[in-house]
Amino acid sequence: MARLSLLIDVTKCSGCYNCFLACRDEYYDNDYSPYSAAQPLDGQFWMQIKEVERGGYPKPKVDYIPVPCMHCEQAPCIDVAADGAVYRREDGIVLIDPEKAKGQKAIVSACPYRVIFWNEESQLPQKCTLCAHRLDEGDKQPRCVEACPTGALVFGDLDDPDSEIARLAASRKTETYHPEYEVSPLVKYLGLPKRFIVGEVVRRDVPGECAEGVKVTLEGSGLKLETRSDGYGDFEFDGLEKNTDFLVGIECEGYASMIIEVSTQTDVDLGEIILEPLK
Ligand code: SF4
Ligand code: SF4
């Protein structure tokens, strides 16, 4: 048995859309039956790139989350399909049979991730196949993974302890995109966007000059982090849990230390933090 899948590192995704374009190039007007029917010209995004904006002016952030079919182990698309039109292979890949699925529009709305698309012309539900037709011919990776210039997409067998994907999954804390759907997706994520806290440190007695190298600490919820303000006096803590209380500490020799209470109900910009010189 195997569990072929993708591990997607959101922190490495630049939103370049190469994966989407490679997918279009592979499937548009190309019929790979019985794996998949040809993709139409418009309206199908087997690899979607979700743009997530966080924070706001003057410290906004944008993250890009690549979202293919998750090849769920408890897939509602399989449950709703008549006549075995959607099925899971022994290697974990979930496929839609283009013959059996004809006319079964209910398959589209069964997917909580909204990654199945309806082909009006051929009356077919369609989605990512992890390039199963290529893998079966001996290719090592799906087209999207080959096309990614940043290494954000890692493909392999989660059950093979020697594979890169299994090693990464064992050494890093992987996450599920929308765990509340409870469908056991095989596709795993690293670095899904969470909350951030940012601020800018300045010294009262040197106005107009950035306070570089100031020690900034963050404590709370079992977490203890430390950073230094950069050349603009800016500091940042990212990847923080939502709705959590933290203490931000500011320490600079010759200045009064500060402790600021912060809650991550939203992303937090502490703005300008003014250090008062010790008398
Ligand atoms: S992500 Fe959607 S289409 Fe893919 S296996 Fe899960 S339920 Fe089915
Ligand atoms: S090719 Fe890679 S970096 Fe570009 S959008 Fe896709 S996953 Fe992100």
pLDDT tens, position by position, 36-62 = 999 999 999 999 999 999 998 989 999
- Summarize the confidence of residues 165-188 as an average pLDDT: 96
Residue nearest to atom 6 of ligand 1 (CA): 72
Interval 247-277: pLDDT, tens = 999 999 999 999 999 999 999 999 999 999 9
> Which residues approach ligand 2 with their CB closer than 6 A?
13-19, 49, 64, 66, 147-148, 150, 152-153
What pLDDT is stored for residue 207 in this prediction? 83
Contact 99, 91 (CB under 8 A): no
Contact 131, 143 (CB under 8 A): yes
Contact 131, 108 (CB under 8 A): no
Residue 19 main-chain phi, psi, to 5 deg = -65, -45
Greater pLDDT, 58 or 35: 35
Q: What's the rounded Cα separation, in Å, for the pair 26 and 233? A: 47
Interval 67-118: pLDDT, tens = 999 999 999 999 999 999 999 999 999 999 999 999 999 999 999 999 999 9
CB 108 near ligand 1, within 6 Å = no
The atom of ligand 1 lying closest to the CA of 77 is 8
Domains, the chain: 4-190 (3.30.70.20), 195-275 (2.60.40.10)
CB 262 near ligand 1, within 6 Å = no
Tokens 């209380």 label which residue? 245
What pLDDT is stored for residue 80 in this prediction? 98
CA of 262 to the centre of ligand 1 (A): 38
CA of 161 to the centre of ligand 1 (A): 25
Interval 198-231: pLDDT, tens = 999 999 999 888 899 999 999 999 999 999 999 9
Residues 6+ positions from 10 with CB-CB distance below 8 Å:
63, 64, 65, 66, 152, 189, 190, 191, 192, 193
- List the structure tokens of 271: 């703005």
CA of 76 to the centre of ligand 1 (A): 7
What pLDDT is stored for residue 11 in this prediction? 96
CB 177 near ligand 1, within 6 Å = no
Greater pLDDT, 85 or 1: 85
Task: From 10, 22, 24, select the one nearest 146 (Cα to Cα).
Answer: 22
Residue nearest to atom 2 of ligand 2 (CA): 148
With cut-offs at 50, 70 and 90, classify the pLDDT of residue 1. Answer: confident
